[in-house]
Every structure is written in structure tokens, then in C-alpha cells.
Amino acid sequence: MLAGNQDEPERRRREIQLDLLQGASGELSGEIARLRSADAILERLLAANILAVAIFDDRGFLVQANPLFRFFIGLTPRTGAAAPLNWSQLVPSAELPKLERAREQLRQTATTLPWETLLSRPDGSTLPVLTGATL
């Protein structure tokens, strides 16, 4: 009988652990569903070309861009980029200080506040854009 009483705290501890794991599992399932929904919304926005989106590496080189962004900077599937494109090549020189401030903010906080800048197009024109960045 004494052995049964000693097992009771262990059984209760395991029940508590199981309850905690089941609760965490439910929360995780909910979070996964929320992320999938947000991901689906973003995919639809990108596919609809409502937002121009580009991904740059940590050195500022273009890695990936949706069709709208490629159109904005004058890249077509036929022309593409002859060489790797760097963000600093896409903005007029007068805009480079804004870019450097954003890079510093990105290094410090892993995100930037939105800022207005210009994108240079191959024909020499510029396109005003509202941009931001995150790691």
C-alpha cells in the first residue's frame, strides 16, 4: 500500500505534463493554421501583382522578384539581368543616403520603417516607390 502512495505523485506529475503537452499541441496547431492562412494570402497578393516584391541577399543583390517588381525595374523574361543586380544600382545616386540609413536600421533592428525612394528604370526614368525591409 505504501508503494501505491509513492506512485501517486509520479502519476499526477505525468498527468500534468500530458495536459501541458496537449495544450501546447493545440496552440501550435492553431498557430500553424494561422501561418498557412497568412502565407496563402501573401501568395495570392504576389500572384495578383498587387504588390511589387523583391528579395535581396545580405549584400544587396537581387535574388528573386515577382513579375510586377521586374516590370518596374525594366526586366522582362526575355531580357533578364545581364549581371547580378544590386539594390544600390536600382536607385539614383541622390537616394543612396536613404538606402544606407535603411541598411543601418536593418542591421540594428532586423526591420525598417517604410520609406519613400525612387527606382531607376533602364530608359532613364524613375519610379517613386514606398519600400521597407526585413530580415
What is the tens place of the pLDDT at every residue in 14-58?
888 877 777 777 777 778 887 888 888 877 877 777 788 888 888
C-alpha cell at 36: 498557412
pLDDT above 90 coverage of the chain, percent: 16
Whole-number pLDDT of residue 82: 60
User: Where along the chain do its domains lie?
Assistant: 1-48, 51-131
* Inter-CA distances, 88 with 69, 78, 101, Å: 15, 23, 13
Angle ∠(100,103,109) on CA atoms, nearest 5: 140
What is the assigned CATH class of domain 51-131? alpha beta
**pLDDT tier for residue 4 given thresholds of 50, 70 and 90:** low
Chain-wide mean pLDDT for the chain?
Answer: 82
Indicate whether 83 pLDDT > 70.
no
The reported pTM is: 0.60
**Rounded to whole angstroms, how far apart are CA atoms 78 and 69?**
15
